[in-house]
Amino acid sequence: MLIVPIDREDGGPIYVQIYEGVRNKITDGSLPVGTKLPSKRKFAETLSVSNTTVELAYGQLLAEGYISSRPRSGFFVQDVGELAYAPPSASGPPVQSGPLQPPPADYEYDFSPGRIDTESFPFDAWRKQAKSVIDESSADLLLLGHPHGEPELRQEIARYLNHSRGVACTPEQIIIGSGTEQLMPLVIRLLGPDTIYAIEDPGYPLTHHIFRRNDRRAIPVPVDNEGIDVLRLGETGANAAYVTPAHQFPTGAVLSAHRRSQLLAWASEKPDRYIIEDDYDSEFRYGGIPVPALQGMGRSDRVLYISTFSKSLMPSLRIAYMVLPPRLLPRYSELFAHYASTVPRFDQHILAGFMRDGSFSRHLNRMRKVYRRKYTALTAALAPYSNSVRYEDSQAGMHLRLSVRTDRTEEELVALAARAGIRVQGAGSYSISPVPREGIAEIVLGFGGIPDKRIPAVIRMLMDCWSVPGGIR
């Protein structure tokens, strides 16, 4: 009989405790590979909880690849290898960004993945922090600060990462920068000219551009519904891998527990191997709890963790950060001894205060509800077109990748949408080695910037201009 401990007083959400209990039994070998788990109803009866509670726990284990579901057979333990996991000390949302491309004036509706909901920003709370910083600051803030970023902000980020993402770090490991595109060239110099990079295909195009501009060899590795193919990665000869494990862009795949184990093992095989973890879109997950950061799951000395506040707050803030393994800090200090932080000190102190007084956590909790409504509205609006339009229901992030059954090309669909005043992007623009799919075009829809009440009408407009049948008139 499977039993997991439950603290009904101060242990937090029951389904999270069940998820963690089962996951720990899988990772420590108490539940061997292939073990059949009890049915949701039977497990609920054993633990004296509701069926829904067990369903939520099993759903999280499925999403992260710890278990699999076989039709009419039940749930079975998957092979996840050896995973060390440092659990977060409290629950909370994560951070990241996507492509930022301002819309032309003639687009009435913009489905770009980098758009956010600007109507819900807490201007009053932000204004209060800005006023406090200006009123209480000294002339010292007019001078250059610590080259790694303000200690106050690095302290808040370290606390947030530990609590919400399970990232094991100290403030001294954190470097503040003005966006991923500013931090990545520093990483490239830090790892040296002989480093060969493996990158996800499809993936974030700005990163691909950064490797090219810095004359670094970057080898594309295919991504499937479990994330990057680690076996193919091992064949590339690369010694650094750039990945988005929590919510892969643009496919939306979550790197499975088995692949995480493989990836960490790959990094440990040679002393010069590193993983660059871009924690893209991990703050917004609408089913279950946030997928843990790879950095907190063991062997953190091989993981460089990068994230930003672009999606969680605003793209224009231009504040990102990276967590370096302690072994790389001396080399970083030597290489960049004369660098100054590229983020204004006033902005850093405003953000530090915003995080310190709880405004950041409240804002994220509110925005998760806002984006969940938009996600639900979008998937409901697409449902009548399911014979021609498919997507992976990832229950996370701020975009969907649609597969459209049509005789038209991606480029033609994008052009038709533009004529209707709707901006969309073809998924092919994110691929390095595109694989033609006869009769299928793929489109990426970012829903962050579209009002939830307008989504059904805009989707009908989009399907009409594409001549996709099945919509409700």
Range of the domain at 372: 109-121+363-466
Last residue of a domain, one of 360, 387, 403: 360
Asked if residue 172 belongs to a domain, the reply is yes
Asked if residue 2 belongs to a domain, the reply is no
Q: pLDDT digits over 188-226, tens only?
A: 999 999 999 999 999 987 787 888 888 889 999 999 989
Query: Hey, what amino acid is at 305?
Result: Y
Polymer length in residues for the chain: 473
Q: pLDDT digits over 419-443, tens only?
A: 999 999 998 888 887 666 777 899 9
Asked if residue 328 belongs to a domain, the reply is yes
Evaluate if residue 93 carries a pLDDT over 60: no
Asked if residue 436 belongs to a domain, the reply is yes
Instruction: Decide if 117 contacts 327 (C-beta within 8 A).
Output: no
- Greater confidence (362 vs 105) lies with 362
CATH number, residue 257: 3.40.640.10
pLDDT for the residue 439: 76
Q: How large is the average pLDDT for residues 363-386?
A: 94
pLDDT for the residue 81: 66
Q: pLDDT digits over 219-266, tens only?
A: 999 999 899 999 999 999 999 999 999 888 888 888 999 999 999 999
Residues 172 and 246 in one domain: yes
pTM, whole model, 2 decimals?
0.80
Residues 353 and 377 in one domain: no
Q: pLDDT digits over 108-165, tens only?
A: 999 999 899 999 999 999 999 999 999 988 888 888 899 999 999 999 999 999 998 8
Last residue of a domain, one of 332, 360, 388: 360
- 150: tokens are 């303000």
pLDDT for the residue 289: 72
Whose CA is closest to 129, among 356, 333, 331? 356
Evaluate if residue 101 carries a pLDDT over 50: no
Residues 460 and 336 in one domain: no
The two beta strands, 422-423 and 109-110, are parallel
Give the CA distances from residue 331 to residues 50, 149, 176, 236, 275, in Å, rounded to whole numbers and listed in that order. 53, 17, 17, 27, 17
pLDDT for the residue 378: 96
| Residue entry with tokens 């369903």 | 55
**Angstrom distance (rounded) from CA 444 to CA 415:** 14
Query: Hey, what amino acid is at 471?
Result: G
Last residue of a domain, one of 303, 333, 360: 360
Instruction: Decide if 430 contacts 401 (C-beta within 8 A).
Output: no
Residues 278 and 246 in one domain: yes
pLDDT for the residue 136: 86
CATH number, residue 63: 1.10.10.10
pLDDT for the residue 65: 82
pLDDT for the residue 82: 53
Evaluate if residue 24 carries a pLDDT over 90: no
Question: Per-residue confidence at 90, pLDDT binned at 50, 70, 90?
Answer: very low
- Greater confidence (98 vs 226) lies with 226
Asked if residue 376 belongs to a domain, the reply is yes
CATH number, residue 461: 3.90.1150.10
Asked if residue 101 belongs to a domain, the reply is no
The two beta strands, 440-446 and 227-228, are unpaired
Residues 389 and 419 in one domain: yes
The two beta strands, 425-426 and 440-446, are antiparallel
Whose CA is closest to 249, among 418, 112, 381, 377? 112
Residues 436 and 413 in one domain: yes
Number of folded domains that form the chain: 3
pLDDT for the residue 102: 42
Residues 6+ apart with CB under 8 A from 92: 160, 163, 164, 165, 290, 361, 364
User: In b/e form, how buried is each residue of 98-129, taking b as 16+ CB within 10 angstroms?
Assistant: bbbeeeeeebebbbbbbbbbeeeebeebbebb
**Angstrom distance (rounded) from CA 221 to CA 200:** 5
Residues 144 and 290 in one domain: yes
pLDDT for the residue 436: 64
Residues 6+ apart with CB under 8 A from 357: 129
Q: Rounded to an integer, what is the distance from CA 254 to the centroid of its chain?
A: 9
pLDDT for the residue 473: 41
